[in-house]
């Protein structure tokens, strides 16, 4: 990769971000796309494919901890329908991009917004607010809707030809698809940002991590995306649905986790993440009995089923009767809890100035 570029672009992998980069390349401008990743969005595994298909130099940038910090202090500009802090998110990405300009010899930033396309972050008022808050007002260019906005210093100075920019607005993709055809883009991404924070099911899972953990990390949010999720107060139990889940769970095991596995029959891997305190024997047994619900082979067993339970101190083994009563204490993340507490959650968190 060449390490000197005229501009850096926010590259999501969506069609708008591709077209924004292509409009720059069409003017002979050397652009590097930054693809931001976290447990909530991003696909670093697609970078090589995208580079080949779209003929764009791309760089993955992990902002997991920055994003988690944003959640823990509370978004300044609010949360969307589910758990998406879209305005704060764009401000964060622009700040990170600005900090990388000097590293790549770049002079300005490109972003693929379309006026009025998104209800939270692409209204005219937020399109004006975001660059001001991010400190990029004089270095941000939005090629897809530039003609609907005042000319930028890059256009006024002649670095970018304003006539080669667009005036896109609204939610229709007709003109984007026409432009994709003009640029001979063969692989058209499906609509939607791919952000899990806008997904109702995954957002519930993320919220329970925020609700129960005082200092969650990237691993915690990755764990919350896998398998079946259950909570009993602050006890967190994750049960694999299939062999792929089982493999992924084992990749995320931390030293303080309890790993449940049937000793002699096929069955799911489960992780008990010990948060504020160590699980006692009663909770461990209740978890093992509950896991039997998801162990089909256990139903055919007439003898007690042995479970291996491992952690950093080694393995222990307990036996659970297939006929034993299944505890009903474990609950999946609740939509009612999520929506009921989300509105007030950040008001309950200690702010830095209060500590």
Three-state DSSP string of 84-96: CCHHHHHHHHHHH
> How many other CB atoms are there within 10 angstroms of residue 142's CB atom?
24
Say yes or no to pLDDT of 192 above 80: no
What length is written for the chain? 355
**The dihedral of CA 164, 167, 169, 175: what is its sign?**
negative
Instruction: Give residue 147's region: left, alpha or beta (phi > 0; psi -120 to 50).
Output: alpha
Q: Is the pTM of this model over 0.85?
A: yes
Burial 222-249 (b: 16+ CB within 10 A, else e): ebbbbbbbbbbeebbbbbbeeeebbebb
pLDDT value, residue 349: 47
- Tokens read off for 146: 């530039």
Residue 148's pLDDT band (boundaries 50, 70, 90)? very high
Q: Which domains does the chain have, with CATH numbers?
A: 7-194 (3.40.50.620), 199-346 (no CATH)
Say yes or no to pLDDT of 344 above 90: no
pLDDT tens digits for range 6-25: 999 999 999 999 999 999 99
pLDDT value, residue 273: 97
Angle at which helices 200-212 and 335-345 cross, to 10°: 60
């Amino acid at each position: 990769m060449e390490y000197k570029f005229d501009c850096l672009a926010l590259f999501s992998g969506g069609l708008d971000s591709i077209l924004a980069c292509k409009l720059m390349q069409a003017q002979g401008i050397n652009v590097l796309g930054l693809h931001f990743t976290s447990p909530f969005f991003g696909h670093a595994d697609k970078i090589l494919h995208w580079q080949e298909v779209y003929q764009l130099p791309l760089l993955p940038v992990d902002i997991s901890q920055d994003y988690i910090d944003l959640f823990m202090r509370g978004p300044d500009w609010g949360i969307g329908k589910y758990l998406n802090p879209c305005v704060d998110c764009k401000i964060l990405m622009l700040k990170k991009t600005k900090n990388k300009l000097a590293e790549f010899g770049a002079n300005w930033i490109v972003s693929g917004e379309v006026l009025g396309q998104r209800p939270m972050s692409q209204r005219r008022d937020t399109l004006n607010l975001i660059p001001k808050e991010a400190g990029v007002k004089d270095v941000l260019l939005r090629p897809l809707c530039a003609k609907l906005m005042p000319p930028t210093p890059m256009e006024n100075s002649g670095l970018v030809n304003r006539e080669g920019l667009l005036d896109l607005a609204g939610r229709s993709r007709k003109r984007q698809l026409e432009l994709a055809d003009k640029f001979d883009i063969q692989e058209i991404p499906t609509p939607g940002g791919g952000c899990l924070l806008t997904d109702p099911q995954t957002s519930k899972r993320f919220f329970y991590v925020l609700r129960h953990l005082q200092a969650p990390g990237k691993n915690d949010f990755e764990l919350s995306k896998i398998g079946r999720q259950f909570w009993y107060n602050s006890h967190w139990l994750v049960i694999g649905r299939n062999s792929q889940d089982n493999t992924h769970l084992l990749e995320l095991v931390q030293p303080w986790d309890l790993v449940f596995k049937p000793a002699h029959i096929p069955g799911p891997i489960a992780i008990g993440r010990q948060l504020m305190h160590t699980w006692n024997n009663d909770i461990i047994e209740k978890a093992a009995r509950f896991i039997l619900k998801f162990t089909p082979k256990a139903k055919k067993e007439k003898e007690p089923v042995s479970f291996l339970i491992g952690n950093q101190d080694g393995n222990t083994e307990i036996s659970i009767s297939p006929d034993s009563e299944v505890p009903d204490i474990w609950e999946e993340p609740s939509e009612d809890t999520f929506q009921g507490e989300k509105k007030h959650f950040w008001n309950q968190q200690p702010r830095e100035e209060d500590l």
